[in-house]
Amino acid sequence: MSRETPLTAVARPALRAGVLLVYIVGVEWARALVGTAPYAAIPALVLGGLALAMTAWGWSRSSLGLGSSRLGLRLLGGVAIAAVLLLPAAVRAGAAPMFPVSLAAAAVVVSVGEEIAFRGALFAALEQVGGAPLAVIGTTLAWTAAHALSHPPEFLGAVAAAGLLLGLWRAVCRDLVAPIVGHVIADLAL
C-alpha cells in the first residue's frame, strides 16, 4: 500500500498542471501555424478547439466550473464580460463583423474549447497547486503565450487583459459558464 507524502501531494498536481500547460499552448501554436495555410483556417480552428476541450477528460464537472446552479446569473455575467471585451472593437471606426456561418461555428467551438482548457482544466490544476491566485496568474500567462503567434504583438496587452478578466470571473464565481458565454460573444463580434 503506497502512502502519499507531502512531496507527492504537491508534485502530482504540479506535474498535471505542467503537462496541461505544454499541451494547451502547443495546440494553440499548432493551430496558429496550420491556420495560415490556404483553406486550412477553419478546420484548424475547429480541430484545435476540440483538442483543447479534451483537456477536460478526467475532471469532474464541478472542478471545471460547470455546475448547474445559478445558470441565469452566470449567463448574465457572460454577457457582461463580452461587453467589456468588446469595448475596444466598439470604438474602431467602421467595425462591422462580417463572417460566414462556418467561421461563426468555428468561433463557438474554439471559444468553448479554450475556456474548458484554460479556465477549466488548467485553472483547476493550478488551483490545486497554489490556490486561486496562482490559477488566475498562471492561466493569464498561458493564455497570452498561447495567443502570441496568432495576434500581432501590439494586441498582446489586450489579450492578457481579456485572459485576466476571464480568469478573475472564474475565480470569483467558481464557474465556467460566464467566461464561456463572454468569450463566445466576443469572438463572434470581433
Residue 42 lies in a domain: yes
Total structural domains within the chain: 1
At 89-117, the pLDDT tens digits run 544 444 445 457 677 777 888 888 899 89
Q: Are 180 and 78 in contact (CB under 8 A)?
A: yes
Residue 1 lies in a domain: no
- Alpha-carbon distance of 83 to 42, in angstroms, equals 25
What domain range includes position 82?
6-189
* pTM (2 d.p.): 0.74
Locate 163 and state its grid cell. 485572459
At 139-188, the pLDDT tens digits run 999 999 999 988 889 999 999 999 999 999 899 888 888 888 888 888 88
* Nearest Cα residue to 19 out of 113, 121, 110: 121
Residue 96 lies in a domain: yes
HSE-CB at 94 with a 13 A cutoff on CA atoms is 0
Locate 13 and state its grid cell. 498536481
Residue 127 lies in a domain: yes
Query: Which pLDDT score is estimated for 99?
Result: 55
How large is the average pLDDT for residues 33-46? 72
Angle at the Cα of 51 (from 45 to 56), degrees rounded to 5?
Answer: 130
Query: Which pLDDT score is estimated for 91?
Result: 47
* Higher per-residue pLDDT: 42 or 115: 115
Residue 155 lies in a domain: yes
Residue 173 lies in a domain: yes
Residue 31 lies in a domain: yes
